[in-house]
């Protein structure tokens, strides 16, 4: 734990016989001593800090998969190496885990023995008074002036006890100690760190987190199939999903229209109806105010637009009618999406393009100028092809695979339509039409359960408390001795950064009824300087 | 109101610079004083105990009124030095009042707490740094930190009004949370203490070197002993680390409300943790014999660098959930 320990351990080499067996044990012991040494702990701490850096600079797959893809497309060779080194998922990589697991092993190895030591120290009496009080950092003395030694010691003892010092009375001296809780705080702090990790592990084992997009007017049922994405821990059981349904009745959003931060979101407000076995309630869901349904939380993560279209096929039949979710691509909600109409006959149809809440088309192409739907427009290309039997394989609804499809063209140029609400576009070639009816908003919700939350939170609170105790409580010792007509009071701090030792010492002498000698200088002492550690030993901390 | 706020901020930057110049004049004037003898004082073994065995003996400097014969010239020089120091403090106070007005007016103009973007964070954090300095000047007499504090304040305020400035605007919805307010208050307090501690660590290194060489001239002679600076820096950090721990905890609770997860390795979160780990390293290093003094001071400086990188650099360089509207 302390550096001194290492030397001691390393030098206790196994003597003579039985060397081989002992050798292994000894090596293990040395390795353990090394791992739990303060120097290793320090090294691991800095290693952890260093290891965390790349994850903040390189895009990370769990949080930004798109950025990782772009990065890989731009730097294909680098990306291969990054992938090998786990740089796209630093916080899930084995080497990152190795650093923090080693740190925590070191922590436990360091703390557990200290608990035993502390348990003993708490019950132990304060240490005996050292022989030479005048070698301590702080001391004062005064004449006994004819009083009985026991009288002086009694007064000192009473003073200390009244002040809640732990006191030890010997024949000619009083010894007192205070500040035991510091070590307790330190132990609580380090143990809490372990508990924080336990809480996080519990959450990731039993918890889950999923997202779903819900269009205004439709709903979400909490079953596995309704999630767009779901990540869950190893011990998660889909049967445990809280049974509820949630329908999105309305979604109101306001954007900044002033010149400063124009377009920044100002408020979101989703009105939802939640149905559980207990009944039905209407509630509001906004950022920072998640819903709680049983042990499950629902957060509002994002929003966007779903243009409503009606598609007629070449036969004139309505092949599709309803909202289609488009995904925002920029801060002004230029949204891209795909409308697939597999049921159109004689040909299936498909559209791909952009929804622009406040549309414009300029040299930069079609884009939106403002996130609110002020001038909604739909810009699309169109395809048709032979119908295919539904394969049942999951298909990405946001991308269009154009194999087997032919683009609608006019005079050899692909059809590019630009529609305002109410507009209908009659397609050339085999025919058909699309009508842009209007739009709805959608909300992206996150449904999650984090069962270890309270463990983590409680441990963090304990850690902060323990840390404060261990940093603000400072152990101190005081002594008073009567010897040959002189009374000496002295004190020692075992941790630096504390003031007022001189006052405590002076007060002790005064409380014993002794006047301090007023000469500021100590008696000449030509002996060599004592090394700093010459004071009385600290409570036995080493293991 | 917003213009007045901006005016007050600019004024504070200028006056901090003037205060810095006054402290610099104090430093320069102090060079005229004779070089002071380093005296190893037996009664200070308390101080010595804080220095690793084998290091240079702890030293302290004779008070200005002992030892050296006080000629008329010297007295005049001392008075001049002291005058510059007092002017420095006076100017720092003036700048602080202007700075405070700038922050308060900004809040009034925006009709909310002035913590919605980088400009507001930096100005508020600097207010905490200077405020903590002034409190400690009155309470503990740490005028010696003035030179570096006002330099930092002038640079940070200047940077804020020129580069970071954005017009007043309401908060984005993600920032509407009590936990956000608690988080920011704690961060600003921690910023105050970390900065004072880090600046003291820099001065520690300078003073420590001079003490080792045995040459304490001018301003360096006016600094407290290296051991005393070290203790001061330690106290600042010991206060700041629990506050910073709490800052991160409050931030992750806010993240739980806003995004449904405590921790998502967002760059800002990651760097807060890095800062925290570096400071935990600092405390460990100090508590391990042999890592006191210069090495601990270097860790503190690295800690301060990560703190500022997290505070400003991350927002400017990397995009994450914390990149607020308008920087
Ligand atoms: C997870 C990483 C760790 C963090 C964040 C951390 C943080 C801290 C902090 C802030 C302190 C100061 C508290 C005080 O002054 O009492 C401290 C003290 C201490 N730490 Fe750690 N620590 C970590 C890991 C470890 C490990 C792995 C060990 C064991 C090798 C360890 C052993 C100690 C000891 C022995 C002290 C008290 C030193 C003394 O009182 O003299 N810590 N730690």
CA distance A125 to chain B (A): 25
Task: Decide which of B32 and A271 is more confident.
Answer: A271
Q: What is the pLDDT of residue B237?
A: 93
Report DSSP letters for B270-327, one per residue.
HHHHHHHHHHHHHHHHHHSTT-TTHHHHHHHHHHHHHHHIIIIIHHHH--STT--TT-
d(CA B141, CA B128): 18
Decide if B169 touches A, using CB distance below 8 A: yes
CA A225 – ligand 1 centroid, Å:
47
Q: What percent of chain B has pLDDT over 90?
A: 28
Decide whether any atom of ligand 1 lies within 6 Å of the B242 Cβ: no
Structure confidence by residue, pLDDT tens digits, A188-246? 999 999 999 899 888 888 888 888 999 999 889 888 888 888 888 878 888 888 889 99
Whether A171 shows a pLDDT value over 60: the answer reads: yes
A404 has a pLDDT exceeding 80: yes
Q: Could you read off the pLDDT of A293-330 as tens digits, one per residue?
A: 888 889 988 889 999 999 998 888 999 999 999 998 88
**pLDDT class for A22, splitting at 50, 70, 90?**
low
Q: How many Cβ atoms are within 10 Å of A219's Cβ, its own excluded? A: 16
Closest ligand 1 atom to Cα of A1 = 30
**DSSP one-letter code for A404:** T
CB-facing half-sphere around the CA of A33: CA atoms within 13 A: 19
Please state, as a whole number, how many other Cβ atoms lie within 10 Å of the Cβ of residue A254: 12
pLDDT tens for A448-494 read: 888 888 899 999 999 999 999 988 887 888 999 988 888 999 988 87
Q: Is the C-beta atom of A47 inside 6 A of ligand 1? A: no
The three-class DSSP label of residue A473 is coil
Provide the β-strand partners of residue A268: A253
Q: How far is the CA of B312 from the CAs of B125, B160, B164, in angstroms?
A: 12, 10, 10
pLDDT of residue A363: 82
**Ligand 1: which of B235, B280, B292, B303 to mutate, most ligand atoms within 8 Å of CB?**
B280
B59 contact residues in A (CB cutoff 8 A): none
**B37 pLDDT tier (thresholds 50, 70, 90):** very low
**Separation between Cα atoms, residue A322 and residue A309, nearest integer Å:** 6
CA distance A516 to chain B (A): 16
Q: Are strands A359-362 and A365-368 parallel, antiparallel or unpaired?
A: antiparallel
CA dist., res. A195 & res. A183, Å (int):
18
* Mean predicted confidence (pLDDT) in A48-71: 81
A267 touches chain B (CB under 8 A): yes
Report the alpha-carbon distance of residue A287 to residue A296 in Å, rounded: 16
Q: What is the enclosing helix (H) or strand (E) of A460?
A: helix A453-472
Q: Kindly indicate the confidence band of residue A394, based on its pLDDT and cuts at 50, 70 and 90.
A: low
Strand-pairing partners, residue A375, are A358
Query: Taking 60 as the threshold, does the pLDDT of residue A19 lie above it?
Result: no
Q: Is A502 helix (H, G, I), strand (E, B) or coil?
A: helix
The model's confidence at residue A396, banded by pLDDT at 50, 70 and 90, is confident
Helix (H) or strand (E) holding A436: strand A433-449
Lowest mean pLDDT among A347-356, A402-411, A517-526: A517-526
Is the distance from CB of A437 to CB of A140 less than 8 angstroms? no
Residue range B213-269, pLDDT digits in tens: 877 776 777 788 888 888 889 889 999 999 999 999 999 888 888 877 788 888 888
Name residues whose C-beta falls within 8 Å of residue A529's C-beta, 6 or more positions apart in sequence.
B45, B48
Q: A-contacting residues of B 79-118, CB under 8 Å? A: none
Q: Is B185 exposed, middle or buried (0-12, 13-18, 19+ CB in 10 A)?
A: middle
A432, pLDDT greater than 80:
yes
Rounded-to-integer distance, Cα B300 and Cα B198, Å: 6
The number of beta carbons lying within 10 Å of the beta carbon of residue A481 is 24
Residue B197: pLDDT above 90?
yes
B24 touches chain A (CB under 8 A): no
Percent of chain A at pLDDT exceeding 70: 89
Q: How far are the Cα atoms of A64, A389, A416 from residue B316, in angstroms, in the given order?
A: 18, 51, 39
Please tell me the predicted confidence (pLDDT) of residue B288.
66
Residue A296: how many other CB atoms lie within 10 Å = 18
At B77, the pLDDT band (50, 70, 90 cuts) reads confident
Contact A505, A490 (CB under 8 A): yes
Helical segments of A12-93, H only: 19-35, 38-57, 65-74, 76-85
The secondary structure of residue B255, as a DSSP letter, is: H
Q: Is omega for the bond preceding A346 within 30 degrees of 0, making it cis?
A: yes
- CB B86 less than 6 A from any atom of ligand 1: no
Contacts of A257 (CB under 8 A, 6+ apart): none
Q: What percent of chain A has pLDDT over 90?
A: 22
What 8-state DSSP symbol labels residue A305? Answer: E
Residue A17 contacts by C-beta under 8 Å, 6 or more apart in sequence?
A: none
- Rounded to an integer, the average pLDDT of B73-89 is 80
Q: How far apart are CA A445 and CA A247, in angstroms?
A: 11
Pair A128, A170: CB distance under 8 Å: yes
Nearest CA in chain A to B165: A260
pLDDT of A540 above 80:
no
The one-character DSSP state at A286 is: B
The pLDDT score that the predictor gives to residue A518 is 63
Query: From the CB of A36, is ligand 1 less than 6 Å away?
Result: yes
Q: For residue range A339-393, what is the model confidence (pLDDT) as tens digits? A: 999 888 888 899 999 999 988 888 878 888 888 888 899 999 999 988 887 776 6
Q: What is the pLDDT of residue B4?
A: 83
What pLDDT is attached to residue B50?
35
Could you tell me if residue B104 is left (phi over 0), alpha (psi between -120 and 50 degrees) or otherwise beta? alpha
Mean pLDDT of B90-100: 92
Q: How many whole angstroms separate alpha carbon B177 and alpha carbon B27?
A: 46
Instruction: Enter the ipTM.
Output: 0.80
The confidence score (pLDDT) of residue A7 equals 37
**B127: pLDDT confidence band, cut at 50, 70 and 90?**
very high
Q: What is the DSSP string of A336-400?
A: EEEEEETT-SSSEEEEEEEEETBEEEETTEEEESSSS-SB-EEEEEEEEE-----------TTS-
A-B interface: how many C-beta pairs under 8 angstroms?
160
Task: Give the pLDDT confidence score for residue A392 in this predicted structure.
Answer: 67
Average pLDDT over chain A reads 82
Helix (H) or strand (E) holding B239: helix B226-259
Q: What is the pLDDT of residue A57?
A: 81
| Structure confidence at residue A210 (pLDDT) | 87
Q: What is the pLDDT of residue B181?
A: 85
Q: Give the pLDDT score at B167.
A: 77
| Mean pLDDT over each residue of chain B, to the nearest integer | 79
Residues of B in contact with A501 (CB under 8 A): 46
Residue A172 DSSP class:
S
Residues of A in contact with B326 (CB under 8 A): 260-261, 264
How confident is the model over A113-162, as pLDDT tens digits? 889 999 888 888 888 888 888 888 888 888 887 888 888 889 999 999 99
CA of A543 to the centre of ligand 1 (A): 15
Q: Which of residues 339-398 of A touch B (CB under 8 A)?
A: none
pLDDT 10s digits, B275-317: 999 999 998 888 765 577 788 899 999 999 999 998 777 777 6
Token representation of residue A192 = 């809490």
Tell me which DSSP letter residue A312 carries.
E
DSSP string, B146-171: HHHHHHHHHHHHHHIIIII-----PP
């Amino acid at each position: 734990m302390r550096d001194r320990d290492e030397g001691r351990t390393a030098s206790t080499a196994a003597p003579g016989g039985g060397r081989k067996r002992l050798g292994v044990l000894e090596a293990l012991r040395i390795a353990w001593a090394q791992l739990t040494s303060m120097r290793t702990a320090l090294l691991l701490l800095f290693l952890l800090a260093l290891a965390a850096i790349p994850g903040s600079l390189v895009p990370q797959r769990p949080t930004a998969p798109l950025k990782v893809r772009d990065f890989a497309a731009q730097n294909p060779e680098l990306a291969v190496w990054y992938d090998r080194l786990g740089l796209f998922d630093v916080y899930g990589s084995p080497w990152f885990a190795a650093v923090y697991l080693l740190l925590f092993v070191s922590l436990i190895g360091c703390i557990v023995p200290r608990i035993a030591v502390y348990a003993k120290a708490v019950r132990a009496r304060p240490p005996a008074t050292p022989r030479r009080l005048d070698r301590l950092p702080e001391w004062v003395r005064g004449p006994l002036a004819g009083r009985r030694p026991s009288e002086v010691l009694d007064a000192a003892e009473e003073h200390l006890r009244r002040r809640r010092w732990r006191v030890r009375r010997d024949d000619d001296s009083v010894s007192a100690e205070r500040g035991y809780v510091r070590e307790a705080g330190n132990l609580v702090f380090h143990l809490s760190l372990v508990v924080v990790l336990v809480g996080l592990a519990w959450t990731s084992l039993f918890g889950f987190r999923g997202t779903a997009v819900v269009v205004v007017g439709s709903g979400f049922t909490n079953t596995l199939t309704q999630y767009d994405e779901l990540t869950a821990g190893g011990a998660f059981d889909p049967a445990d999903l809280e049974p509820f349904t949630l329908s999105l009745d309305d979604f109101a959003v306001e954007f900044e229209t002033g010149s400063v931060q124009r377009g920044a979101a100002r408020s979101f407000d989703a009105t939802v109806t939640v149905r559980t076995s207990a009944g039905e309630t209407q509630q509001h869901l906004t950022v920072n105010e998640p819903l709680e349904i049983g042990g499950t939380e629902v957060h509002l993560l994002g929003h966007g637009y779903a243009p409503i279209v009606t598609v007629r096929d070449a036969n004139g039949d309505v092949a599709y009618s309803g909202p289609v979710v488009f995904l925002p691509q920029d801060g002004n909600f230029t949204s891209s999406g795909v409308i697939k109409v597999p049921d159109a006959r004689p040909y299936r149809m498909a559209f791909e393009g952009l929804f622009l809440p406040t549309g414009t088309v300029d040299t930069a192409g079609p884009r939106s100028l403002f996130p609110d739907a002020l001038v909604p427009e739909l810009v699309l290309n169109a395809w048709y092809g032979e119908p295919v039997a539904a394969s049942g394989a999951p298909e990405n609804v946001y991308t269009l695979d154009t194999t087997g499809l032919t683009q609608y063209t006019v005079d050899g140029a692909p059809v590019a339509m630009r529609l305002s609400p109410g507009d209908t576009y009659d397609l050339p070639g085999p025919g058909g039409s699309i009508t842009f009816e209007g739009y709805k908003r959608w909300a992206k919700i996150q449904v999650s359960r984090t069962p270890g939350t309270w463990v983590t939170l409680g441990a963090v609170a304990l850690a902060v408390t323990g840390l404060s105790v261990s940093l603000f409580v400072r152990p101190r010792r005081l002594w008073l001795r009567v010897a040959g007509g002189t009374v000496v009071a002295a004190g020692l701090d075992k941790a630096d950064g504390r003031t007022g030792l001189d006052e405590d010492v002076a007060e002790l002498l005064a409380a014993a009824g002794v006047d301090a000698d007023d000469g500021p200088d100590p008696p000449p002492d030509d002996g060599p300087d004592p090394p700093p550690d010459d004071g009385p030993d600290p409570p036995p901390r080493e293991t | 109101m917003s213009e007045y706020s901006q005016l007050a901020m600019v004024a504070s930057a200028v006056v901090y610079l003037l205060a810095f110049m006054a402290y610099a004049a104090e430093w320069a004037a102090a060079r005229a004083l004779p070089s002071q003898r380093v005296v190893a004082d037996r009664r200070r073994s308390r101080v010595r105990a804080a220095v690793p065995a084998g290091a240079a003996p702890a030293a302290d400097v004779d008070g200005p009124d002992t030892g050296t014969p006080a000629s008329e010239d010297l007295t005049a020089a001392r008075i001049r030095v002291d005058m510059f120091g007092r002017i420095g403090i006076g100017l720092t106070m003036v700048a602080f009042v202007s700075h405070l007005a700038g922050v308060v007016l900004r809040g009034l103009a925006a009709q909310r707490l002035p913590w919605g973007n980088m400009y507001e964070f930096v100005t508020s954090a600097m207010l905490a740094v200077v405020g903590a300095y002034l409190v400690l000047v009155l309470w503990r007499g740490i005028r010696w930190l003035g030179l570096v504090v006002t330099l930092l304040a002038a640079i940070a305020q200047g940077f804020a009004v020129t580069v970071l400035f954005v017009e007043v605007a309401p908060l984005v919805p993600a920032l509407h949370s009590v936990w956000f307010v608690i988080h920011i208050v704690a961060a600003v307090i921690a910023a105050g203490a970390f900065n004072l501690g880090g600046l003291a660590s820099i001065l520690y290194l300078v003073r420590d070197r001079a003490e080792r060489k045995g040459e304490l001239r001018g301003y360096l002679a006016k600094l407290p002993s290296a051991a005393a600076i070290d203790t001061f820096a330690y106290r600042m950090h010991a206060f700041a680390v629990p506050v910073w721990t709490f800052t991160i905890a409050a931030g992750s609770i806010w993240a739980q409300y806003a995004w449904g997860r405590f921790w998502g390795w967002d760059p800002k979160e990651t760097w807060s943790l890095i800062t925290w780990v570096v400071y935990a390293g600092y405390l460990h290093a100090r508590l391990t014999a042999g890592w006191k003094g210069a090495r601990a001071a270097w860790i503190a400086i690295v800690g301060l660098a990560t703190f500022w990188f997290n505070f400003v650099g991350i927002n400017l360089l990397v995009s994450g959930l914390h990149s607020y509207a308008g920087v």
